[in-house]
Amino acid sequence: MLLTGAEIVIETLAEQGVDVVFGYPGGSVLEIYDALYKSDKVRHILTAHEQGAAHAAEGYSRASGKVGVALATSGPGATNLVTGIASAFMDSIPVVFLTGNVPTSVIGKDSFQEIYIAGITMPITKHNFIVRKIEDLADTIRNAFTIAMSGRPGPVLVDIPRDISQATTEYIPEHARTPKPLPRIFRDDLRLAAQAIYEAKRPMLFLGGGVVSSNAAAVVKKFIKRTDMPVCHSLMATGILKTNDPYNMGMVGMHGSATSAHAVQKCDLLVTLGSRFSDRVATNARQFAPNATIIHIDIDAAEIDKTIHAGIGLVGDIKSVLTALLPLIEQKDCSDWRNELTEYKNSNEYRPAENKNVLVPKTIIETLWKKFSKEAIMTTDVGQHQMWAAQYCNSGRSRSFLTSGGLGAMGFGYGASIGASFACPDRRIIHITGDGSFHMNIAEICTAVTYSLPIITVVLNNEALGMVRQLQHVAMGDRFSTTIHGRKTDFAAVARGFGAQGFTCRTQKEFLKALEAAKQTLDRPTVIDCTIAQELLVLPMIPSGKSAADIITE
Amino acid sequence: MKGRDEMGKTENNIVTVLVENNAGVLARVVSLFGRRGYNIESLTVATTKDKRTSYITIVVNGDKDILDQIIKQVSRLEETISVRPLEESRALSRELLLIKFAINDKTLTSIHEISSIYGATIVDLAPDTMIVELTSNTSKIDAFLSIMKKYDIIEICRTGVTALERDSQKLK
């Protein structure tokens, strides 16, 4: 059938199983939006800003495991996507970004709204394409999906000049693409790993984001049962195990638990699943797990030996590798080692001061999990609130804690919440933010109002840019340069101004009341502004470059 | 098992990369080197006998760990067909040097003589200048340049290394 390029874009997206696209129209994508208007195959969600669309697409993917799609016009539309593209890249999230561009005849002439987005996004995409011939359009979009979802997932950008959208060619539908075959797993490596696990006296399992992207939570739980190993996790693997799971020693790294830091120091084997040992995990790579042999299982060969030398490196998909490894492992008993760690936890773990009269982050996050339990998907922005949300995340379910880990992009959360809402319409999206982060993309409330999304935003409001303030406390002699901002924003009033519901809370009682109202409100978003003390710190903390021995707990 | 504190010595390594000959592919490879902080000593690129592929020869300075990472990272690029380090003993490498001298009656003869010893040829001779061409491996070119330092050099231009493996194995 003879179609225009714009129609081919929509047909190809539909053929690839895309049901929703987040985007913002503009001159270079006029024809694509016209094709969207005429078709009912793909739903388009209009955000307030292209950054919101980019975060929504990655939020959609993080929550569902499917490839997210965002669409923007040339020039500023494309550049506004960049933070979302980088966020997806750093956390290995499969997203296809489509951008319009000026017609090929005027490319390179500094035309209106012309930007070389392929050049800009080269280091933050797995791959990108500029479509130069209409005949290549459908296959290029299909290849973008294959690349995004294959191997280590990631974002792919397809730049479509306007004359390509306008031209016509023959379109033949195809089946949805599937990921490329997984790398072969070597039996010898599996045997080595099984032997090391068998011999280890103090083994530790370390879960990274790869467990989430390979949908391996179920087999990981079997692996834990079989090996009886205590577990720690990176920020990206938050939520897979509940915080109160007896095997879970907590997050590891800069704001990880004291028990995990201790356990990683003491263990003789660290079985690492899909983590890249970022500088926020291995704050000092040379002193990380100093007594351990490291088994590193990762889909990306380039991660093995990149930061930490692995004694045993296994390249492969976590789910497939563990499935192949399980039959080689006998039931193990690590109860002595686990009891030792549990004792350590009981006597040495950091516990924040309780205060019944005011709101404290721990109580807020725990209350949310009590109220919504497994039904909730928690999204965060970036800063102190993000770390508190991670420390007390009691989900127990994969893909239920969505956060911008590698890039650490403030303003991620609301867009991600919108994306998650469309990925999982039957679940409740709880957006944890701070007064700094929320200001960044607060305009996206309008999107949630337009589409009647009952997103619940909880602002941990300390009237400061808290994480930087904390760093200034630790490293800059309490010189709080610009971080105590003096803003007077009434978030509840702003929410109402957008057509959402808004509450301000100073006590747990007020919070519970607001939360109940939010739970009952299913046709629009709610913002609950919670006042917390300004001087609260995220603890424990291992400063950059330091090791577990330098952990700060007060 | 490798020691975690093992620090290799830095040296120049030749890495050969076979890539799809698409627009922007060189930019992608170079961008990767820039982003990861790898130091390119020289780089040459040209299409192969198959016009759909290009052959990039990169000389990069680094230790074994860096070389290992470079190979893995370049392999990750979608347009990379294969990446291979070239061991020095198996590599046949060449680069081309063009060097322009300001000359007078005295220096003309001695530049000519030294050039002959090195197998360099005079490719341009004008009343006050001459251009000498030398195709050889990097160390010989370096040696030639260090001897020629004392003459009045106007300009130097060298292409960087291009290399093939000595036996008949294909890069694929």
- Top residue of B2, B4, B6, B26 to mutate, by most chain A CBs within 10 Å, is B4
Q: In this structure, which amino acid lies at residue A35?
A: A
Distance from CA of A302 to the nearest CA of B (A): 5
* C-beta separation of A383 from A439 below 8 A: no
> What burial letters (b/e) apply to A296-320, b meaning 16+ CB within 10 Å?
bbbbbbbbbbbbbbbbbbbbbbbbb
pLDDT tens for A229-262 read: 999 999 999 999 999 999 999 999 999 999 999 9
Three-class SS of residue A180? coil
Q: Which of A126, A286, A302 sits opposite B78 (nearest CB)?
A: A126
End-to-end CA distance of chain A: 69
Instruction: Give the model confidence (pLDDT) of B139-148 as tens digits.
Output: 999 999 999 9
Query: Average pLDDT in the A151-167 region?
Result: 98
Residue count of chain A, please give it.
Answer: 554
- Please judge whether A305 and B2 are an interchain contact, meaning their C-beta atoms are less than 8 angstroms apart: yes
H-helix segments, A152-269? 162-166, 187-199, 209-213, 217-227, 258-266
pLDDT digits (tens, 9 = 90+) for A330-370: 999 999 999 999 999 999 999 998 888 899 999 999 999 99
B3 contacts A286? CB cut-off 8 A: no
Chain-chain contact of A127 with B5 (C-beta, under 8 angstroms): no
User: For A285-308, what is each residue's pLDDT tens digit?
Assistant: 999 999 999 999 999 999 999 999
Rg of the Cα atoms in chain A: 24
**Is the predicted pLDDT of residue B6 greater than 80, yes or no?**
no
CA–CA separation, A357 and A187 (whole Å): 59
Query: In this model, does residue B170 exceed pLDDT 60?
Result: no
Min Cα separation B123/chain A (Å) = 39
pLDDT of B4 strictly over 80: no
User: Chain A closest CA to B125's CA: distance in Å?
Assistant: 42
Q: Closest approach of chain B CAs to the CA of A207, in angstroms?
A: 21
CATH code, residues B92-163:
3.30.70.1150
Distance from CA of B65 to the nearest CA of A (A): 8
Q: How confident is the model at residue B9 (pLDDT cuts 50, 70, 90)?
A: confident
Beta pairing, strands A68-72 & B39-47 = unpaired
A89 exposure class (CB count in 10 Å sphere: 0-12, 13-18, 19+) = buried
In terms of DSSP bridges, do strands A168-170 and A2-4 run parallel, antiparallel, or are they unpaired? antiparallel
pLDDT confidence tier of residue B171, bands split at 50, 70 and 90? low
DSSP structure string for B57-124: EEEEEE-HHHHHHHHHHHHHSTTEEEEEEE-GGGEEEEEEEEEEEE--HHHHHHHHHHHHHHT-EEEE
Q: Considering only CB atoms, which chain B residues are within 8 Å of A311? A: 1
| Residues A216, A222: Cα–Cα separation, whole Å | 10
Of A118, A126, A286, the CB nearest to B4: A286
Nearest C-alpha neighbor of B28 from the set A119, A115, A147: A119
| Strands of A81-124, DSSP E | 95-101
Directed axis angle between helix A412-423 and helix A50-64, to 10°? 50
**Is the confidence at residue A379, as pLDDT, over 60?**
yes
Residue from A89, A96, A107, A122 whose CB has the most chain B CBs within 10 Å, to mutate: A122
DSSP class of A306: T
Minimum mean pLDDT range among A22-31, A529-538, B60-69: B60-69
**Does residue A509 contact residue A525 with C-beta atoms inside 8 Å?**
no
Alpha-helix runs per DSSP H in A167-304 = 187-199, 209-213, 217-227, 258-266
What is the pLDDT of chain B when averaged over all its residues? 90
What local confidence, expressed as pLDDT, does residue B23 receive?
87
Contact A302 B78 (CB under 8 A): no
CA distance, residue B110 to nearest chain A CA (Å): 50
Residue A208's SS3 state is coil
| Chain A residues within 8 A of B7 when measuring between CB atoms | none
Query: Phi/psi of residue A248, each to 5°?
Result: -85, 115
By Cβ distance, the residue of A122, A308, A309 closest to B28 is A122
Report whether pLDDT(A451) > 50.
Answer: yes
- Report chain A residues whose CB lies below 8 A from the CB of B63: none
Burial of B23 (0-12, 13-18, 19+ CB in 10 A): exposed
Residue-averaged pLDDT of chain A:
97
Residues of chain A with pLDDT > 70, as a percent, come to 100
Nearest-Cα distance to chain A for B70, in Å, is 9
Please list every residue in chain B whose beta carbon sits closer than 8 Å to the beta carbon of residue A305: 2, 65, 68-69
CATH 3.30.70.1150 in chain B is located at 92-163
Of A127, A130, A300, the CB nearest to B78: A127
* pLDDT of amino acid A554: 82
Q: What is the CATH number of domain B11-86?
A: 3.30.70.260
What is the Cα Rg of chain B in Å? Answer: 19
List pLDDT tens digits, range A199-218. Answer: 999 999 999 999 999 999 99
Rounded Cα distance, B162 and A276, in Å = 34
pLDDT band at A81; cut points 50, 70, 90:
very high
> Taking a C-beta distance cutoff of 8 angstroms, is the pair A109, A37 a contact?
no
The set of residues, in sequence order, having a beta carbon less than 8 Å from that of A373 and lying 6+ positions away, is: none
- With CB atoms and an 8 Å threshold, state whether B23 touches A122: no
Tens digit of each residue's pLDDT (9 = 90 or more) over B36-76: 999 899 999 999 999 999 999 999 999 999 999 999 999 99
- Return the beta strands (E) in B126-169 as ranges: 129-136, 153-158, 162-165
- Closest residue, chain B, to A128 (C-alpha): B78
Residue span(s) of chain B under CATH 3.30.70.260 come to 11-86
Nearest CA in chain B to A146: B78
Q: What is the pLDDT of residue B7?
A: 52
From the list A147, A286, A305, which residue is nearest B68 (CB)? Answer: A305
Distance CA A392, CA A366 (A): 6
Confidence band for B169, pLDDT divided at 50, 70 and 90: low
Q: With an 8 Å Cβ cutoff, are A300 and B76 in contact? A: yes
- C-beta of residue A214 within 8 angstroms of C-beta of residue A274: yes
Look up the ipTM and state it.
Answer: 0.88
Beta carbons of B69 and A306 less than 8 Å apart? yes
For chain B, the distance separating the N- and C-terminal CA atoms, rounded to the nearest angstrom, is: 29
Does residue A86 surpass a pLDDT of 70? yes
Residues of A with CB under 8 A from a CB of B: 118-119, 122-123, 126-127, 130, 147, 286, 293, 300-302, 305-306, 308-309, 311
pLDDT digit string, tens, across residues B98-138: 999 999 999 999 999 999 999 999 999 999 999 999 999 99
Write down all domains in chain A, each with its CATH number in brackets: 2-170 (3.40.50.970), 187-348 (3.40.50.1220), 361-531 (3.40.50.970)
**Side-chain half-sphere exposure of A307, counting CA atoms within 13 A:** 17
Predicted TM-score of the model (pTM): 0.94
Shortest Cα–Cα distance, B64 to chain A (Å):
11
Residues of B in CB contact (< 8 Å) with A are: 1-6, 23-24, 27-28, 31-32, 35, 65, 68-69, 72-73, 75-79
Contact call for A306 and B76, based on CB within 8 A = no
Write down the pLDDT at residue A357: 86
**Residue B9 φ/ψ, nearest 5 degrees:** -85, 145
Residues from chain B that touch A127, judged by Cβ atoms under 8 A, are 77-79
CA distances from A123 to A117, A380, B55, B142 (A): 11, 25, 22, 35
The band of A32, judged by pLDDT with boundaries at 50, 70 and 90, is very high
Tens digit of each residue's pLDDT (9 = 90 or more) over A93-139? 999 999 999 999 999 999 999 999 999 999 999 999 999 999 999 99
CA dihedral (A299, A302, A307, A313) positive or negative: positive
Considering only the beta carbons, identify the residue of A123, A127, A286 that sits closest to B31: A123
For residues A297 and A300, what is the distance between their CA atoms, to the nearest angstrom?
9
